[in-house]
Amino acid sequence: MKKIVVILIGALSIMSCKTEESNPKQFTLTGEIKGLTGNLFFRHPDKEYTRDTPADTIHVVDGKINFSDTISELNIITAYTDFSDPNNKLFKKPADGKGYFPTKSMLFTFFAFPGADIKVSGEATDFMNAYPSGDEYNNSLAAINKIAYPNYNTTVNLAVQATHETDSLVIQEINKKAEELSEEGRLARIKFVEENPNTVAAMYYLNDLMLRTQIDNDKAIEIFNSISKEHSGLSFYKTVESRINGILNTAEGSPVPAIKTTSTLDGKEFDITSLRGKYVLIDFWGIWCGPCVAEMPQVKAFQEKYKDKLVVLGINSGDTKEKVQKFVEEHGYGWQQVMSVKENSSDNFVTGFNVQGFPTKFIIDPRGKIVKRYLGSGEEAFALLEELLRE
């Protein structure tokens, strides 16, 4: 009997180990990035983070990586090195040493999904010349990153070089070379996306091109229409689809896209149709966005001056409800606030309105039609509002 019990316990232990080892949601990342000192850090797509939450760590020993984790579905992971390391050559610093030039080529990106066995190889020099492989998703990402990363790197190196110069003519020449190279890179990325529309990497880059206004809207729509509907379940497809719909649905004269949500500061439902009969200024903003915050006193002045004709609707992106609540209360910004939620397609108003930068403002007429959209400084928006509201 004792022998039977021991055998059963042993069998159960083996089964338990096998269950742990074969977690269906697990993925692995193995390989080597030569010259990489220090660990890699990332924010897991399945987790919620605040600005104070520490990032997850991919441990690196002598450039070698042997990492595993779990993930619920296909997603992209962006890993970065230590910002605080003064010897980190991946961060492009200007001559004064303050801050750094942000560029994708200092990051290691890969697609993770349940069951993935991802390989990484390459080196870290003055940019992350290392790429993932092992499956169709990562092979396609490596293919476009091998085109994009060297271009990003050379372009930003020229920008850094310009900060070391004092001769205006030399600076002008360097900037000209950087602009020409940047344009070459933009066209090369568009060409890859156009020629490989059914790869997830192309969908990821198409969204990036749209976000940065680096692709013509008509071209983006043309490429999107060539993507197989078989990919419609992927989050990358849905994000691009939302932006495409945002382009089509936010043309001047179009009815404003639906905003019916409980993603509000008090959790009560808000419906933009309730504002019919007045002009509406929709302000896409974030506390982290300096120009957004700088313009809010002017927004408040317009709201108070024309309170019988104008309603302001703030749509925040990138902050927590608690932080927004505290900020608006401290400054007396009492207009309706809605939170754009990246993870929720119906409440992702940033992509739904194809917002490509902050601040972005929309002026809506009393019938609910879009009069105009403005990206960046709100001076033109304020001038048009003054003209419309004085009538």
Q: Is the dihedral of CA 68, 73, 76, 78 positive or negative?
A: negative
* Last residue within a domain, chosen from 222, 252, 276: 222
Is 67 in contact with 76 (CB distance < 8 Å)?
Answer: no
**pTM score of the predicted model:** 0.79
- 99 plus 165 within the same structural domain: yes
In a shared domain, residues 69 and 122: yes
**How does strand 117-124 pair with strand 40-42?**
unpaired
Supply the DSSP symbol for 126.
Answer: S
Tokens found for residue 93 = 């610093």
Q: How many residues does the chain have?
A: 391
User: CATH code at 369?
Assistant: 3.40.30.10
C-alpha–C-alpha distance, residues 338 and 346, integer Å: 13
Residue 183: give the domain boundaries: 20-222
> 264 and 168 in one domain?
no
Give domain status of residue 337, yes or no: yes
Instruction: Check whether residue 77 and residue 152 sit in a common domain.
Output: yes
- Structure letter (DSSP) for residue 106: G
From first to last of its 391 residues, the chain has per-residue pLDDT tens of 555 544 444 554 544 444 445 689 999 999 999 999 899 999 999 998 876 789 999 999 999 999 999 999 999 999 999 977 777 888 888 888 888 888 999 999 999 999 999 999 999 999 999 999 999 999 999 999 999 999 999 999 999 999 999 999 999 999 999 999 999 999 999 999 999 999 999 999 999 999 888 999 999 999 999 998 888 889 889 989 989 998 898 989 999 999 999 999 999 999 999 999 999 999 999 999 999 999 999 999 988 999 899 999 999 998 999 999 999 999 999 999 999 987 777 899 998 898 988 999 999 999 999 999 998 877 899 899 989 988 6
- If 0-12 CB within 10 Å is exposed, 13-18 middle and 19+ buried, where does residue 47 land? exposed
Relative orientation angle of helices 217-225 and 200-211, to the nearest 10 degrees? 160
Helix, strand and coil percent figures for the chain, each rounded to 5: 45, 20, 35
| 231 falls within a domain | no
